């Protein structure tokens, strides 16, 4: 392994301590509440190789008594999305994704895939592999209280100019996850990873996938490689 790869591997986190906030979070895509400063940054890497992506992404996470919050900042020279109907195949466009598995020993997990127009694909995956070739089997469930908002610094859907970045802020309500009985207790541990599809005329291959987790395969549903998420609360 060369020195650059060793440096990149050292930046991969083994787990994430998610801080509690008692300050209100307004889900508006701006990530400007002071509480976000308490949350450590998660950097994204390319699956398998763990190289730094051409299009960087940073994310942070928080929680309170009602929601798990995720904030993303995705640098992107070519920001685009067209799908507007809920549970469309948002991963075929610029998209940021949240995967959470509340019980490491049991199969159900959730994924939320939100494009740059703030169109939501959400799924309650009862059993991995049981959806057949219909990727929308589990997305017939909707997380009713989900909050999300996008802020774009650039021009949507114009590949002829260079954009700067887009931000996504998500609030996932604990009460609306079927396998979760209210808010977690401090020190509870879930599994999670955050990921991104970037489709861009500025990328050598036209697209780039990245994640905050050390994925050993190009498979965002491979929860064996996801990271522990520890819910922390100051005493």
Q: Please provide the average confidence, as pLDDT, over all residues in the chain.
A: 93
Instruction: Report the DSSP beta bridge partners of residue 152.
Output: 166
Which tens digits make up the pLDDT trace of 47-58?
999 999 999 999
The span from the CA of 30 to the CA of 98, in Å, is 18
73 pairs with which residues across the strands? Answer: 58, 167
Quote the percentage of the chain above a pLDDT of 90.
85
Percent of the chain clearing pLDDT 70 (strictly above): 92
Global confidence as pTM: 0.94
The three-class DSSP label of residue 221 is coil
Residue among 231, 234, 230, 232 nearest 14 (CA):
230
At 86, list the tokens.
């809920």
Span 72-83, pLDDT tens digits: 999 999 999 999
Q: What is the token pair recorded at 156?
A: 């949507």
Of 168, 151, 143, 167, nearest to 66 by C-alpha is 143
- What are the pLDDT digits (tens) for 20-48? 999 999 999 999 999 999 999 999 999 99
Rg (CA), the chain: 17
Instruction: Provide mean pLDDT across the span 87-101.
Output: 97
Q: Rounded to 5, what percent of the chain is helix, strand, coil?
A: 10, 35, 55
Quote the CA–CA distance of 86 and 79 in Å, as a whole number: 19
> Where do we find the tokens 């959730």?
110
pLDDT (tens digit, 9 = 90+) per residue, 1-17? 455 555 455 566 689 99
């Amino acid at each position: 392994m060369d020195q650059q790869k060793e440096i990149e591997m050292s930046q991969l986190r083994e787990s994430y301590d998610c801080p509690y906030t008692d300050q209100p979070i307004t889900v508006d895509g701006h990530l400007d509440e002071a509480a976000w400063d308490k949350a450590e940054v998660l950097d994204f890497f390319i699956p398998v190789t763990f190289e730094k992506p051409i299009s960087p992404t940073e994310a942070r996470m928080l929680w309170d008594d009602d929601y798990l919050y995720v904030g993303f900042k995705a640098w992107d020279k070519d920001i685009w999305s067209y799908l507007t109907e809920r549970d469309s195949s948002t991963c075929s466009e610029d998209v940021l994704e949240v995967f959470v598995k509340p019980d490491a020993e049991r199969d159900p997990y959730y994924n939320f895939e939100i494009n740059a127009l703030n169109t939501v694909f959400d799924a309650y995956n009862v059993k991995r592999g049981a959806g057949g070739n219909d990727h929308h089997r589990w997305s017939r469930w909707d997380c009713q209280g989900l909050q999300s908002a996008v802020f774009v610094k650039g021009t949507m859907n114009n590949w002829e100019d260079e954009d700067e970045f887009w931000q996504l802020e998500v609030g996932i309500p604990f009460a609306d996850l079927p396998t979760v009985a209210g808010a977690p207790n401090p020190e509870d541990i879930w599994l999670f990873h955050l990921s991104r599809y970037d489709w861009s005329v500025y990328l050598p291959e036209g697209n780039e996938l990245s994640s905050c987790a050390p994925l050993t395969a190009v498979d965002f549903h491979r929860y064996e490689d996801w990271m522990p998420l520890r819910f922390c609360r100051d005493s």
